[in-house]
Amino acid sequence: MPRRISPPASQDNLEACLDEYLNRIKECIRQRATELTEPSFPGNAQSHSSFGLQELTQAIDEFAPGVPVQIGREKWHNVLFQYFPPFTILCFLLAIIFGYLGFSAWSKDPNHSVGSGFLDIAKIFAGAIVGSTSATAISNLSRKKR
């Protein structure tokens, strides 16, 4: 694996350090692709000096898997949907709306059943929020363990 390089002091040093680092990674990828091409059984007399695309991509994945880089700021809704699925947000809005309707109807006439009906619907959506959020949290935790 390539060793760490101390930070460069100038633009020329930056280019030299990057070239050196990338050349080491290229060499490691070439060596690993060649290792993957060589026969795995000692009795096999067939030997390959060059490697194919499959070996090359496997070697690249081992040494430089790559991570998508975000250029600029993400949109607010993309950030929000990373943490909360759209279903949870919809349930949240509906719980707020039905809760408001229930409390406004209940404040005008506490004995009337319309307000309690709206509050029951709000409770159902609140339960859906808890269920969808916990399901999302569990799936994210299991995805991180892999």
pLDDT tens per residue, range 10-19: 677 888 888 8
CA 10 – CA 14 distance, rounded (Å): 6
End-to-end CA separation in angstroms for the chain: 23
CA 71 – CA 67 distance, rounded (Å): 13
pLDDT tens per residue, range 16-73: 888 888 888 888 888 888 888 876 545 544 544 578 888 888 888 887 777 666 667 7
CA distances from 35 to 26, 44, 52, 63 (A): 14, 15, 12, 14
Instruction: Please tell me the pTM assigned to this model.
Output: 0.47
CA distances from 124 to 15, 20, 59, 120 (A): 60, 61, 51, 6
Q: What is the mean pLDDT of the chain?
A: 80
